[in-house]
Amino acid sequence: MPEKILEIQPHAMTAEDIQDWLAAQIAEQQGIDADEIDIKAPFDSYGLDSVQIMKIASLGKQYFGLQLSPIIMWNYPNIESLSQYLAEEIQSSELEVFEI
C-alpha cells in the first residue's frame, strides 16, 4: 500500500504556515538554515537581490494561487507582516469562491 502524503491546501494555510514557507524560501535563496530566519527582521536584512525576490514571488504565485508582486515585500517588509496579509488574501479569495 503506498504511503499517504498529506498536503496542506493553500486555502487552508494559516499565517504561521505561510511564515514557515517564506522562511524556507529565503533560507534556500541564502544558503542558510530556516531556523536562522527571524520572521520580524526586514527582508532587506537578508540581502536578497531582485532575482531572488522575483523567484520567491513566482513560487508564491504557484504555491498560493495569488498574484504576488515583488513590490509587496516593501509594503509588508518582514515575514510576519507579509504572511498575515497573504493569509487574509487567501481567506478572502476562498470566501469569494464560495459566494458564487
Listed by start position, the domains of the chain span 12-99
The radius of gyration computed from the CA coordinates of the chain, to the nearest angstrom, equals 14
H-run or E-run covering 82: helix 79-99
Question: What pLDDT does residue 94 have?
Answer: 59
- Can you give the pLDDT at residue 78? 94
What is the chain's length? 100
Task: Say what the pLDDT of residue 3 is.
Answer: 40
User: pTM to 2 decimals?
Assistant: 0.78
Q: Which parts of the chain register pLDDT below 70?
A: 1-12, 94-100
Who's near 15: CB < 8 A, 6+ residues apart? 83, 84, 86, 87
Q: Which of 15, 10, 12, 8 is nearest to 87 (CA)?
A: 15
CATH superfamily of 12-99: ACP-like (1.10.1200.10)
